Amino acid sequence: ALLESRWRFAAGLGGISITLLVLNNVDKVILSGLASLKAFGYYTLAWTLANAVRLLADPLFTTFFPRLSQAWAAGDMEALGELYHRVCRMMTVAILPLGLTIAFFAPEAMYVWTQSPETAAQSGPLLRLLALGNLCLAMTIVPYALQLASGWTSLAFWSNVAASVILAPLMLFLARTYGTYGGGIAWTILNGTYLVVTVLAMH
């Protein structure tokens, strides 16, 4: 009976995982076929450093997701709202300074990491775009945690499906026009749209 009552939630999580796998790798699949190996290497380096912005949000998700779930299960909407807004503020304080620092000082951040002036010059502009995109993505993690805490998977799933359908042709067009920078532009557009549209829709 427990499995029967929870299969929709499990299926929703599975669908979200599959669509996230597509979204997180479509840029690499497309750029690996269009860009030179050297340019793709610079893009991968920039992506790795930019991903630190999103990874910093993971401990907050892991810590507060059970508490959001507990508050939802208890039916205490006032406590849930207070906890949600407090965690959103914590996420902003934790993520925003790091993300903006990396974005505004991208070549310097890349140089500190690699100690290579050439790598900093080539990957810096890419890092700026990808850091902004991952900053927007990180800011959606707490709203996503609240959706899962309430058992609501359809918004994230269908948002990911729509994004997958739109992102691939957008990425292909921008990559052919701007090279690896097109990948960064598409990633920033995608996650900026998520932050504005999906979070507003959830609220």
Helix, strand, coil percentages, rounded to 5, for the chain: 90, 0, 10
What the block records as the tokens of 149 is 């805490």
Q: What is the DSSP letter of 27?
A: H
Task: Give the pLDDT score at 1.
Answer: 78
Task: Give the pLDDT score at 71.
Answer: 93
Query: What is the per-residue pLDDT across 102-133, written as a single tens digit (0 to 9) for each?
Result: 999 999 999 999 999 999 999 999 999 999 99
Query: What is the per-residue pLDDT across 55-79, written as a single tens digit (0 to 9) for each?
Result: 888 998 999 999 999 999 999 899 9
Integer Cα distance of 94 and 119 in angstroms: 28
Asked if 183 and 30 count as a contact pair (C-beta separation under 8 A), the reply is: yes
Query: What is the per-residue pLDDT across 172-185, written as a single tens digit (0 to 9) for each?
Result: 899 899 989 998 99
Integer Cα distance of 129 and 50 in angstroms: 9
